[in-house]
Structure 1
Amino acid sequence: MSLLSTHGLTAHYGDFQALFGVDIRVEPGEAVAIIGANGAGKTTLMRSIAGVLRSAPGEVVFRGREIGALDAAAVMGAGLAMVPEGRRLFPSLSVEENLQIGCYGRKAPGPWSLDAIYDLFPILGERRHAPGTALSGGQQQMVAIGRALISNPDLLLCDEISLGLAPVVIRDIYAAVPRIREAGASLVVVEQDIGQALKVADRVYCMMEGRVTLEGTPDTLSREAIHDAYFGVSA
């Protein structure tokens, strides 16, 4: 049984349809990357899985349970957590207080605690009492990842975690991915950076205009196939 699967998933913003019958799956222990240009539907897919956007119950299945109609709090309680695009820290709270917000959705005891987060990202321990918004963009992203991890999810959804960050900061953040996986979490990573996505993922889905246009493993997908799926034109 797949850890997560979507079945003909659709999503709308009012009268505008953003997803058209999307089918993806994530196996236990797997890292899956979702790539595509701006407007491809990647963030909408993450929001639909996380319960921010509601769908029909059977369109999202997690551990064999239909969760498509659940709200975000119930989805988090089931064992999923999302690192949203733009980090979305609470400006009135310190780094440590922002991290502790994730504890309220904790599914069960697990490997991630405040001390474990500070071990993963030592700079956050050093700045635990600073306002969350006083940190650099990369450090704020670490807080957002830590806030999601501290709920001890079975599946971590990461939406554009490298967006707007310097290459050296992106390297440091992605260096944490192996430890996250070793602790038992599967991942779905949304990325515009194709090279970064191929480095971190066991499998890749490419999206364009709300549809999946390509699926495969990094070692079987050619540059030409990815180019065509990403842009919808021949190389």
Structure 2
Amino acid sequence: MTLLSITDLTARYGDFQALFGVDIQLEPGETIAIIGANGAGKTTLMRAITGIVPPSGGSIRLQDRDLTRAPAPEILKAGIAMVPEGRRLFPSLTVEENLLIGGQKRQGNGFWTLARIHELFPILAERRHSPATALSGGQQQMVAIGRALMSNPEVLLCDELSLGLAPVVIKEIYASFPMIRQSGTAIIVVEQDIGQAMKVADRLYCMMEGRITLSGRPGDLSREAIHDAYFGVSHA
């Protein structure tokens, strides 16, 4: 059974239509990457999946459950958690307190506990009593990932994980993906870095102006096809 099914999804900001008939399928244990330039609709798609932006049409189903019109807290409780662009940590709380907040909507006695987050990112155990915003950008991203995992989601949405981070830090963060997948969590990652997206994804979706312009397995897609879909180049 498909884990997450997004069908003919549309979304609007007032009179402005941001998504046009988006179709995406996520299978259990899979990682898919969504690429596209700024303004392509990637973040709007993430916000629509999590209920922050109510869809104006289409459907979002988690297995057999329709979440299309569900409010954001219900979607989180159902098993979809997001690592937002910019991390959005609570500056007045410590690293550990930020992580524990993520566990307040825990789905039963799942895999992810504070100890497992510390196993995934050992630096967070060392810095557990530090204010979250006193950490480096990469370490803050680890806190944001850990906070989302503490709810034991079936689907983890990661919006622009590598934005503003050094290559060595990006590599360290993406090295956490195998353990996350082994826990039973599927991943959707929004990424502007095409090369990085192709390294981690089982399947790739390219967006432009609110539409899916290309999809497939990275090994089946040529660099030229991805470039053309990314920038809207036509050879007709």
Task: Tell me if both proteins adopt one fold, taking TM over 0.5 as the criterion.
Answer: yes
Contact 1:160 1:191 in 2 (8 A): yes
CA contact (8 A) 1:57 1:66 kept: no
Contact 1:57 1:69 in 2 (8 A): no
CA-CA distance at 1:119 after TM superposition: 0.9
State the partner residue of 1:54: 54
| 2:37 counterpart SS class | coil
Rounded Cα–Cα distance in structure 1 between residues aligned with 2:75 and 2:54: 11
Deviations 1:132-186 (A, max 9, x none): 0000000000000000001100110000011000000000000000010011100
After TM superposition, list the pairs within 5 Å mapping 1:135-146 onto structure 2.
135-146=135-146
TM-score (norm 1): 0.98
How far does residue 58 in structure 1 lie from its aligned partner after superposition? Answer: 5.5
Aligned-partner SS, 2:220? coil
Q: Answer yes or no: is 1:159 the counterpart of 2:159.
A: yes
Provide the residue aligned with 1:76 in structure 2: 76
Aligned length, in residue pairs: 235
Structure 2 counterpart of 1:115, one-letter code: A
CA apart distance, 1:55: 2.0
What is the rounded CA distance, in whole Å, between the counterparts of 1:165 and 1:185 in structure 2? 24
CA RMSD in angstroms comes to: 1.1
Identity across matched positions, percent: 68
**Unmatched segments (≥5 aa) in structure 1:** none
Which residue is equivalent to 2:7?
A: 7
Looking at structure 1, the residues matched to 43 and 149 of structure 2 have their Cα atoms a distance apart, in angstroms, of: 19
Structure 2 length-normalised TM: 0.97
- In structure 1, distance between residues paired with 2:173 and 2:6: 28
Segments of structure 2 that go 5 or more residues without pairing to the other structure are: none
Q: Secondary structure at the match of 1:198?
A: helix
1:13 Cα deviation from its structure 2 partner: 1.1
Given residue 134 of structure 1, which amino acid in structure 2 is its aligned partner? A
Q: Is the 8 A contact 2:11 2:56 kept in 1?
A: no
Whether contact under 8 Å (1:57, 1:67) holds in the other structure is no
Contact persistence 2:9–2:21 (CA under 8 A): yes
Which residues of 2 match residues 116-131 of structure 1 at below 5 A? 116-131=116-131
